[in-house]
Amino acid sequence: MIGIIATHYISSFIIKPIKELANDMSTTLQAIPDLLFELDINGKYIQIMTNKEELLIDARKNLLNKTVTEALPKEAAKIVIKALQEADIKGDSYGHEIVLPIEQQSFWFELSVAKKKPFNVTQKNFTGSRFIVLSRDITQRKKYEKEINELAHIDTLTGLANRYSLEIQLEQALLCAKRNHKKMAVMFIDMDKFKDINDTLGHNLGDSFLKETAKRISRCVRKSDITGRLGGDEFIVVLTDIKSNFNASYLANKILKKLSLPYEIDGHHIFSSCSIGISYYPGDGNNSEKLMKSADMAMYHAKTEGRNNFQFFSSLMTVDNERRIKLEAELHLAIETNQFELYYQPQISTTTQEICGAEALIRWNHPEQGLISPVDFISIAEESGLILPIGKWVIQQAFKQKSLWEKQGISGVKMSLNISAHQLHSADLVIFIQELFEKYQLQGFNIEIEVTESVAMNNPQYAIKILNAIRALGIDLAIDDFGTGYSSLAYLKRLPIQTLKIDREFIRDIETDANDAAISSATIALAHALDLKVVAEGVETLQQQQFLKNENCDILQGYLYGKPMSNKDFIQFHHDFKHREWQD
């Protein structure tokens, strides 16, 4: 009886609570998303407590009594043993990470290990240290970490290295070059007139264009070279081991060629090019900042040399660069204090022998340097965006002058003026012209706007739209510097132009260079076939004049008749102009 009571007592007061506790424990373990193991100091699996069988490297029954060295990849097993040894000494160990191949995927686990305190009731056979190992699945976290790391180092648009990563990689490459006495080259690549593409076709298309550019650059370089995007349309290529300058020029030529091939993006045909500056280690700098800066200056020099070319850094450019920065600051002031003036160069009709036009050309009356030629500041104005206010001033001044000439009896003289790529692509250009056109009552008077061939051909669809709107106001349009740009006749036919201006490069050697003569003759014939008038620029000699007359060129402009001159001188010139000695 006592025996029964004692059994009942043990059952209800000892075994039952233990059972309940075990039940509770098992429910708690089910709820833990991690894997729990009990291992001995040799890494032998004593217990596996998890319901996440799919995260085990092998079936539970295959793992039990095996050691981690037998069950896991070598590297992971080493880490587990290390964590156990650490916990054996300190009592616990945290933060070790292992990667395991499970079902052909890589899973990351973070280990937390606690040394077990032996107690006698259940673990009579307990020999040596035992450990509870909690193995947390951190695969997702690792994925995010990798993504964040990539975001920090990779330019998300192009997949190339970003500025931060470029600097790190360049510093590392420099250390290596210093140690091994190697030469390196840094190339600074800037797309020509990217802003126009972005402004006119929108940012999405601009992005696609940059992606394509990045692809083309990547295809030109070796795997061991560093390629990245600094931001915007600026790319960097670092040649980490070059034998001679030839390597860099060869690659620069290759990149120039590839980036100037036509782009077809979302049905738009885009023509572009790039300018490249090159600096060398050790000659042009011994740290990443100096090398990048030198390459940047050389790139800027390439821009001023007409774009679509490459230049090596030279110390003289530092002076150039300082001058440019100073000039840009002074240009701001020049706009505010009205330091600009328009000069006018006469154009002579070969049929009437009269002055039939005047090209308005800007001059800068610099307070210290005197008259500065547009050649020295237009490109800076374009780069800095100052061309927009300057260009507006030119339009306003030329329109005003044209209206005054009419009032002063100087009629029949077409006023030609230049507009730049930036202007053509500025949103308010047409409205601005229209308002001034009405303000100065120029309806019915001859006004002509000149755009260079490359301006019109860069994004021709947009150029056609804007030029059509200008043309609709009754303004004539001319293609300037014809022959120096893309010469796409198919597009030329679609432009609403009335005049072609042959660049003075072709006129200069017209008597001695058969090619130039042939190009000029063909251009005149082509223009006439398209019902366009032809202006020859840069006519300096009677022989050139004769040649052009023989070819039926319509209008001549050049020093032979008159240099660009102030308004006062032009009025005098016009007054004095009758039939002169130079005429045949």
Judged by the rule CB under 6 A, the positions of this chain that interact with ligand C2E are 345, 361-362, 373-375, 378, 391, 394, 418-420, 480-481, 504, 537-540, 557-559, 564
Tokens of 435: 């308002």
CA angle, 259 then 261 then 263, to 5°: 90
**CB of residue 420 to ligand C2E, shortest distance in Å:** 4
As measured in angstroms, the least distance from the Cβ of 355 to ligand C2E is 14
3-state secondary structure of 196: helix
Instruction: Give Cβ neighbours of residue 22 (< 8 Å, ≥ 6 apart).
Output: none
Q: What 8-state DSSP symbol labels residue 232?
A: T
In the block, residue with structure tokens 């005054």: 404
Which residue lies nearer to ligand C2E by CB, 128 or 385? Answer: 385
| 253 contacts 274 by C-beta, under 8 angstroms | no
| Beta-carbon contacts of residue 580 (< 8 Å; ≥ 6 apart) | none
Residue (330 or 537) nearer to ligand C2E, CB: 537
- Helices 514-529 & 542-550 angle (0-180, nearest 10): 40
Given the complex with ligand C2E, which of 418 and 520 has the nearer CB atom? 418
For the bound state, the minimum distance from the C-beta of residue 474 to ligand C2E, rounded and expressed in Å, comes to: 21
Rounded Cα distance between 92 and 133, Å, is 10
Nearer to ligand C2E, 217 or 451 (CB): 451
What one-character-per-residue DSSP string does 359-390 give? EEEEEEEETTTEEE-GGGTHHHHHHHTTHHHH
Tokens of 418: 């230049």
At its nearest, how many Å lie between ligand C2E and the CB of residue 365? 14
Is the Cβ of residue 375 or residue 514 nearer to ligand C2E in the bound state?
375
234: three-class secondary structure by DSSP: strand
Residue 565 DSSP class: B
The backbone region for 93, taken as left when phi is positive above 0, alpha when psi lies in -120 to 50, beta otherwise, is beta
Shortest distance, CB of residue 241 to ligand C2E, whole angstroms?
42
SS3 content of the chain, % helix, strand, coil (to 5): 50, 25, 30
User: Residue 288 or 397: which CB sits closer to ligand C2E?
Assistant: 397
Residue 479 contacts residue 500 (beta carbons within 8 Å): yes
Residue 174 CB, shortest distance to ligand C2E, in Å, is: 41
- Say if CB 349 and CB 369 are below 8 A apart: no
What letter represents residue 145's amino acid? E
Please say whether the beta carbons of 92 and 123 come within 8 A: no
Closest contact distance (angstroms) between CB of 156 and ligand C2E is 36
Do the strands 340-349 and 555-557 form a parallel or antiparallel pair, or are they unpaired? antiparallel
Q: In the complex, what is the shortest distance from the CB of residue 292 to ligand C2E, in angstroms, rounded to a whole number?
A: 31
Residue nearest to ligand C2E (CB): 558
E strands present in 266-402? 268-270, 274-281, 310-312, 340-349, 355-366, 370-372
Residue nearer to ligand C2E on the CB measure, 230 or 479: 479
Q: Which is nearer to ligand C2E, 107 or 462 (CB)?
A: 462
Residue with Cβ nearer ligand C2E (317 or 421): 421
Please say whether the beta carbons of 399 and 417 come within 8 A: no
DSSP 96-162: EEEEEEETTEEEEEEEEEEEPPP-TTT-TT--S-EEEEEEEE-HHHHHHHHHHHHHHHB-TTTSSB-
Closer of 295 and 358 to ligand C2E (Cβ): 358
Minimum gap (Å) between residue 145 Cβ and ligand C2E: 52
Q: Which is nearer to ligand C2E, 96 or 425 (CB)?
A: 425
Q: Based on CB atoms, which residue is closest to ligand C2E, 312 or 547?
A: 547
Amino acid in the structure at residue 240 = T
**C-alpha to C-alpha distance for 286 and 446, rounded to whole angstroms:** 59
Closest approach, Cβ 378 to ligand C2E, in A, equals: 5
Smallest distance from ligand C2E to CB 563, Å = 6
Question: CA angle 186-190-195, nearest 5°?
Answer: 160
Least Å from the CB of residue 583 to ligand C2E = 17
Q: How far is the CB of 142 from ligand C2E (least distance, A)?
A: 56
- The smaller minimum CB distance to ligand C2E, of residues 227 and 544, is found at 544
